[in-house]
């Protein structure tokens, strides 16, 4: 067992690692077959094309495809998402504007499944927070066309702008006790 796997397992997660996006899709198709699956907003999941691939295998709901479907998504068996940063010690970080994503990683689903590209791994919590605020959030703000200062220079200015996408930073020290949770690490760069 690798040190990374050991660190996630001691925090309560099932942990799997694959080398390619193709292997990640195969893993997800097998694991999610026959389930109801809600998707969190995630460029990683978009890049994998897993929503489209799962259509005939599972019941899928994603607010990126069906705007406003949050109530239906909240009752899905599985919540599929990524993370903005993950420490090699096993902590998982997500920043959220509306709150649906971090809420769903904490409570309400039978299982949460995190798909993580290798570019999200950091050494320590401080580096992880820095990644969230100065890499992931500015890029997401730019993707969404927000009028925030980070869009101009790629650096967080700790704004309280009306268009700020950073309302809540969730740091999962360990798996919440109310659900099962799996980390799938993909040895490729995915998302922001």
Residue ranges binding ligand SF4 (CB under 6 A): 133, 137-138, 141, 148-150, 156-159, 161, 164-166
CA distance 90 to 62: 27
- Distance of closest approach, residue 96 Cβ to ligand SF4, in angstroms: 11
- Distance of closest approach, residue 130 Cβ to ligand SF4, in angstroms: 11
Count of residues in the chain? 192
Question: Which residues touch 179 (CB under 8 Å, ≥6 apart)?
Answer: 107, 108, 109, 110, 111, 112
- Distance of closest approach, residue 129 Cβ to ligand SF4, in angstroms: 12
Identity of the residue, 10 or 144, whose beta carbon is nearer to ligand SF4 in the bound complex: 144
Identity of the residue, 17 or 96, whose beta carbon is nearer to ligand SF4 in the bound complex: 96
Closest CA relative to residue 28, chosen from 100, 78, 98: 78
- Distance of closest approach, residue 159 Cβ to ligand SF4, in angstroms: 3
SS3 116: strand
- Which segments of 82-173 are extended strands (E)? 85-87, 92-96, 111-117, 121-122, 168-172
Q: Are strands 180-186 and 59-62 parallel, antiparallel or unpaired?
A: unpaired
Identity of the residue, 33 or 143, whose beta carbon is nearer to ligand SF4 in the bound complex: 143
- Distance from chain centroid for Cα 162: 24
- Distance of closest approach, residue 80 Cβ to ligand SF4, in angstroms: 24
- Strand arrangement, sheet containing 121-122: 121-122, 85-87, 92-96, 168-172
Identity of the residue, 42 or 148, whose beta carbon is nearer to ligand SF4 in the bound complex: 148
Identity of the residue, 18 or 132, whose beta carbon is nearer to ligand SF4 in the bound complex: 132
């Amino acid at each position: 067992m690798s040190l990374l796997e050991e660190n996630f397992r001691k925090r309560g997660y099932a942990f799997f690692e694959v080398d390619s996006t193709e292997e990640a899709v195969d893993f997800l198709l097998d694991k999610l077959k026959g389930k109801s699956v809600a998707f969190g907003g995630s460029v990683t999941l978009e890049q994998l094309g897993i929503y489209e691939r799962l259509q005939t295998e599972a019941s899928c709901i994603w607010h990126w495809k069906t705007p406003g479907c949050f109530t239906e998504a909240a009752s899905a068996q599985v919540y599929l998402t990524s993370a903005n940063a993950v420490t090699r010690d096993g902590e998982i970080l997500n920043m959220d504007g509306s709150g649906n994503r971090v809420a769903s990683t904490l409570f309400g689903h039978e299982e949460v499944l995190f798909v993580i590209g290798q570019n999200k791994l950091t050494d320590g919590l401080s580096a992880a927070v820095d990644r969230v605020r100065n890499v992931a959030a500015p890029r997401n703000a730019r993707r969404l066309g927000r009028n925030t200062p980070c869009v101009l220079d790629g650096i967080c200015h700790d704004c309280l702008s009306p268009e700020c996408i950073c309302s809540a930073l969730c740091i999962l020290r360990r798996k919440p006790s109310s659900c099962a949770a799996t980390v799938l690490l993909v040895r490729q760069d995915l998302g922001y």
